[in-house]
Amino acid sequence: MNGEPPIKRAVAFVDGQNLFHAAREAFGYTYPNYDVTALAEQVCAKRGWTLAQVRFYTGIPDVGDNPKWHSFWTHKLGTMGRRGVVVYSRPLRYRNRRVSLPDGTQHSFLTGEEKGIDVRIALDVIALAHRRDYDVALAFSQDQDLSEVAEEIRVIARQQRRWIKIASAFLHSPATRNRRGINKTDWIRIDRELYDQCLDRRDYRVKREKS
């Protein structure tokens, strides 16, 4: 197997909903206010990696189910795409969920669920490794389903006789309950100071922004 390359090309794979829910829990933010390119650049720069590409994956609600968030994501993803981010989106599927409250009563609410995002990320991580498009797969996710992908990347590295790393970056604070990265990957913790350096100052909840 060839040794560690002097220039390490990184591709960032960002699970948008996973990142938002982590930011809400860790830092109290109420909407997806991240600039994923800036965040990936900061993480790569601290490790001497060259960021080659950012890929972003998210579910978005149908305009009939939630027009406000449909508009938000349409405008935010459009801005990302114009700035070179490879965007993959799928519609959120809504269903009723029922929970039991402490007083014994039942409460029903409508919730949106992503379908297929984790599979798409996994397929792309593997496909781009086969194409030799990166040396480092940087996953902004804590989805443990991707641990199987990490094993596959090691197989590809042996087959191609080259150095490949897979890392998982995730938000971390005293409020964070899940403090684990993806198993079988290198863990990169992101604190609030770093996250706040990478905010997207456009508020797509208010109006459509032009860039």
- Average pLDDT across the chain, whole number: 89
Q: Do the beta carbons of residue 154 and residue 126 sit within 8 Å?
A: no
Q: How do the residues of the chain divide into helix, strand and coil, expressed in percent and rounded to 5? A: 35, 30, 35
Q: Mean pLDDT throughout 152-167?
A: 97
Q: Which has more confidence, 133 or 177?
A: 133
Give me 54's structure tokens.
């950012």
pLDDT at 205: 75
* pLDDT score of 116 more than 70: yes
In this model, does residue 109 exceed pLDDT 50?
Answer: no
| pTM as predicted | 0.86
